[in-house]
Chains A and B, each alone.
Chain A
Amino acid sequence: MAYETQGFKIDNSGKRVVVDPVCRIEGHMRVEVNLDSHNVITNAVSTGTMWRGLEVILKGRDPRDAWAFTERICGVCTGTHALTSVRAVEDALGIQIPENANTIRNIMQLNLQVHDHLVHFYHLHALDWVDVVSALAADPKKTSTLAQSISDWPMSSPGYFRDVQNRLKKFVESGQLGPFTNGYWGNPAYKLPPEANLMAVTHYLEALDFQKEIVKVHTIFGGKNPHPNWLVGGVPCAINLDQVGAVGAINMERLNLVKSIIDRTQEFVEKVYLPDIIAIGGFYKDWLYGGGLSGKSFMSYGDVPQKANDYTAPNLLLPRGVVINGDLGRIHEIDLRDPEQVQEFVTHSWYKYPDEARGLHPWDGVTEPDFALGANTKGTRTRIEQLDEGAKYSWIKSPRWRGNAVEVGPLSRMVLGYLQPKQYPEIRDMVERALHQLDAPVGALFSTLGRTAARAIEALYAANLQQTQFDKLIANLKAGDSSTANIDKWEPSTWPSEAKGVGFTEAPRGALGHWIRIKDTRIDNYQCVVPTTWNGSPRDPKGQIGAFEASLMNTPVAKADQPLEILRTIHSFDPCLACSTH
């Protein structure tokens, strides 16, 4: 089978390579590719291999509880589904939240962005670029020189790197390599010198220690992380600055703790994460594969409302809009209520629709599982050797915007920000600075590495926004407003007998929307269309491929039995499969 779609030539005639499980991601995923005689990918098939049925489970429940259920869609992007959910319910019921609640939610959401991005890079992605074993051969002195040349982060003495190296040596010598067992060490696609590898491995460990600090902001406002608590109508934490009993609420000590974490987070991103990306990126500048849909069709719903209750584009500190077919000069507006815009298809997904040639808007969405394999599947129903992508082949649905497959995520957001410098001058500056440091053209953004770099840039943007949102919280408190919840419509008796709403956020991995229908105070239909649903989607009725599949196309693989390049590009999206299928 060979055909053309979205500028890619799909041809599944060559040798088939299967990667299952794809590790270092959230959840369960499978990738199959065809390689031509030069080991270049000519066909890519990405499959979500899990389904839990949250949309089915939510039916008939109290809409005020939905945040807790949807939050458990994912513990990695913890909180973003909860926030999306309370926004959807508030939209349906017409609930206005207090200014402080909006700001605290923003801080929590931005905190998630930074945390998730940092953990993704160091713990889920870095090993695609960094050869751990090679770090053993590094000269700690030279590593120190390298580290100090790119950042004034204090933890950079030769002795420090030597200690880490010794610990690593002892670890490797034990013969028990733990999570590093069977890695692709020594593969020619690894390009870093030993010194850079040692620096990166050191920061892998440092970031592991530090990430647990970042999330304490969630713990303060939401009581725990993962899975902090949220509330329809505001936030559950009350503020009490002056009165008796302040120790039982958000008070000056709590605010100081938040502030100190925000400061340290900003510093870590500025002095460790971003410099590492630039340094590592410098060695892979020529590896420009993996662009996929990124320069062509991409989308962001926007997030971080500056003023409470205004979700229109001008009020959002993360950009909103869609670009289609590479027309970067034209940013389309998004209307999530328009039945013609966001639609989900299931022609290639393991679900049933009454009419599968047509997509459904999420308010009318249907989730009915239907596991069946195509006639050309190799293996059996419970022992799949090779999937038949001509039939249904994934638990992920195929969302489309006006029929187009789009990429979502940090790269889409940063590019949409870059394209609108008036509204987002900081994004423009940061992207330009990074490109300048890498000595790379704007076009280089549309690649695997560009996606990874955009995420780091966004981490800094989010860390900075966390600061300004915190300042805003303080200013509002200073002005005498300490309210955190609006309970006017808390009681179901105040609700209309029927209502529908939509809530959206920019999750770490991209545009996230929840659509809810409420009937007689209970959930009548609940549909989530999730970032990894967009990126990881299987084909649609027109044969259009999703962002994962597109990104793998035309990539040469150094060793067919070591899927390093496949992992590298797929990981650059930070796939979350629990999210994608929910």
Chain B
Amino acid sequence: MSIETFYEVMRRQGISRRSFMKFCSLTAASLGLGPAFAPRIAHAMETKPRTPVIWLHGLECTCCSESFIRSAHPLAKDVVLSMLSLDYDDTLMAAAGFQAEAIIEDIKKKYKGNYILAVEGNPPLNEDGMFCIHGGRPFVEILRETAADAKAIISWGACASWGCVQAAKPNPTRATPVHKVITDKPIIKVPGCPPIAEVMTGVVTYMLTFDRIPELDRQGRPKMFYGQRIHDKCYRRPHFDGGQFVEHWDDEGARRGYCLYKMGCKGPTTYNACSTTRWNGGVSFPIQSGHGCIGCSEEGFWDKGGFYNRVTDIKAFGVESNADRLGGGVAAVAGAAVAAHAAVSALSRARSNNDKNPGGN
């Protein structure tokens, strides 16, 4: 993410060194700092700035932000103070109203093509987008405008990546993931509901440190954190292979930490780093605390049938049933049909034999 310094941008726009210095003293004054600060501000602006980040919120629950501030390495504090410049984030910023909106305009101008747009949540498209209003306007408009000049977009969490809970059937607001609205920018999906804190800061620091977008899989997720399933690295895996399962809650198997497969664990179908990185500084992760994975980093995980069923729902052809109920049902019907057909066949054969030999014998 190489960025022009602020001074370079101003020079490129034909602003003289003199007015640049004047700008610096004005900045110092507007911050309530003495004139002594002006040269230092000027110096900072001539050196490489921290990458600006605009963090927008659509329809969501803010737990991605909450997760982010839980990061232990690096500390969220250090990310915000030293690594990037979190210039806009509704949840944390001091400003509000038009002072807040002005920041977006400012960043778009000053750092055109050089800022990162982080999106938490997603835009609803029904009701002209007015299920999520921002400054009196549909959020989707703000998203489009801000994306237009961004260098890259990070889709935080299941909301921005896939749609998440508000997009679950029947998706009354037509909540739409970011990549379906913004199609002309590199988008890094960091799914999870929420994503793991250290995965979030890991993705950000990777981009800042190596000055590039991490390697993504076909669905746009960084391979380094989403390349394996929970099940591939689950510490309960020996119990899975051994055929040792929790059969019901709080049974002997639960107390011994057996595999949660029969309790509906979605670890075998979920790509995330929980079983290795774990949560909250490595303290635990869902399975370690006795509940199966619900597949929270997977697309549409809300609509795959109950969280406690191993065999999940089928929604094709308008039927809602699980594979065993549907398939078993069809098999049973086939079996019954075969039996009935066999009976009729036997009857008709007996009758035609009679036809051939009227009177018997």
Contact = CB atoms under 8 A, between A and B. Distances in A.
Q: Do chains A and B make direct contact within the complex (CB under 8 angstroms)?
A: yes
A1 interface: no
Given A69-B302, A127-B94, A212-B72, A178 B81 contact: yes
B204 interface: no
A124 B164 CA distance: 26
A51 B173 CA distance: 8
Q: Which 5 A-B pairs have the closest CB atoms?
A: A248-B257, A75-B63, A245-B256, A183-B94, A223-B289
Given A18-B97, A24-B91, A52-B173, A226 B63 contact: yes
Interface string B116-139: 000000001001111111111111
Contacts of A563: 96-97
Given A178-B87, A245-B257, A249-B254, A212 B33 contact: no
Contact of B96 (A19, A167, A174, A237): A19
Contact of A24 (B60, B93, B127, B166): B93
Interface residues of B, number: 108
B350 interface: no
A219 B32 contact: no
B63 A133 contact: no
B192 to A, nearest CB: 9
A567 interface: yes
B261 interface: no
A546 interface: no
Contact of A249 (B66, B77, B286, B290): B290
Contacts of A134: 32
A382 B137 contact: yes
Given A30-B136, A223-B279, A227-B194, A249 B257 contact: yes
Interface residues on A, range: 35 or more
A239 interface: yes
11 contacts: A20-B97, A25-B91, A52-B166, A74-B63, A180-B93, A180-B94, A184-B99, A218-B280, A223-B287, A231-B291, A249-B256
A54 interface: yes
Max chain B C-beta neighbours (<10 A), residue from A27, A167, A381: A27
A49 to B, nearest CB: 4
A19 B279 CA distance: 37
A384 interface: yes
Contacts of A246: 255
Contact of B254 (A50, A220, A224, A238): A238
B194 A75 contact: yes
B91 A23 contact: yes
B176 interface: no
Interface stretch (B49-57, B178-186, B329-337): B49-57
Nearest to B93: A179
Given A183-B95, A184-B94, A484-B250, 19 more contacts: A28-B90, A52-B166, A57-B166, A75-B66, A127-B94, A174-B49, A176-B87, A177-B31, A178-B81, A178-B85, A181-B88, A216-B280, A229-B291, A229-B294, A239-B255, A248-B255, A249-B290, A382-B128, A578-B61
Given A221-B289, A229-B291, A237-B290, A133 B32 contact: yes
Nearest to A72: B165
Nearest to B194: A226
A238 B45 contact: no
Max chain B C-beta neighbours (<10 A), residue from A167, A236, A239: A236
A265 to B, nearest CB: 14
A99 to B, nearest CB: 13
A526 to B, nearest CB: 13
A182 interface: yes
A219 B250 contact: no
B62 to A, nearest CB: 5
B280 A212 contact: yes
A490 interface: yes
B288 interface: yes
Contacts of B138: 382
A27 B101 CA distance: 16
A216 B283 contact: yes
B44 A174 contact: yes
Max chain A C-beta neighbours (<10 A), residue from B63, B127, B173: B63
A264 to B, nearest CB: 14
Nearest to B95: A182
Interface in A229-261: 229, 231, 233-240, 243-249, 257
A221 B24 CA distance: 52
B75 interface: yes
B255 A179 contact: no
A222 interface: yes
B41 interface: yes
Interface of B: 6, 24, 27, 31-33, 37, 40-41, 43-45, 49-50, 52, 57, 59-67, 69-72, 75-77, 80-81, 85-97, 99-103, 124, 127-139, 141, 164-166, 168-173, 175, 193-194, 197, 236, 248-250, 254-258, 274, 279-281, 283-291, 294, 296, 302, 306-308
Contacts of A184: 94-95, 99
Contacts of A245: 255-258
Contacts of B124: 52
A64 interface: yes
A354 to B, nearest CB: 19
Contact of B256 (A20, A240, A485, A567): A240
Contact of B136 (A78, A179, A208, A383): A383
Contact of B250 (A21, A181, A257, A487): A487
Contacts of A209: 75, 77
A88 to B, nearest CB: 17
A76 B63 contact: yes
Contact of B135 (A21, A235, A487): A21
B255 A238 contact: yes
B60 A233 contact: no
B250 A179 contact: no
Interface in A169-192: 171-186
A378 B147 CA distance: 28
A374 interface: no
Contact of B307 (A24, A57, A65, A211): A65
A322 interface: no
A63 B271 CA distance: 26
B69 A211 contact: yes
B94 A24 contact: yes
Contacts of B60: 75, 578
Contact of B103 (A24, A181, A567): A181
Contact of B127 (A167, A248, A257, A369): A369
A219 B284 contact: yes
A212 B285 CA distance: 15
A62 interface: yes
A141 interface: no
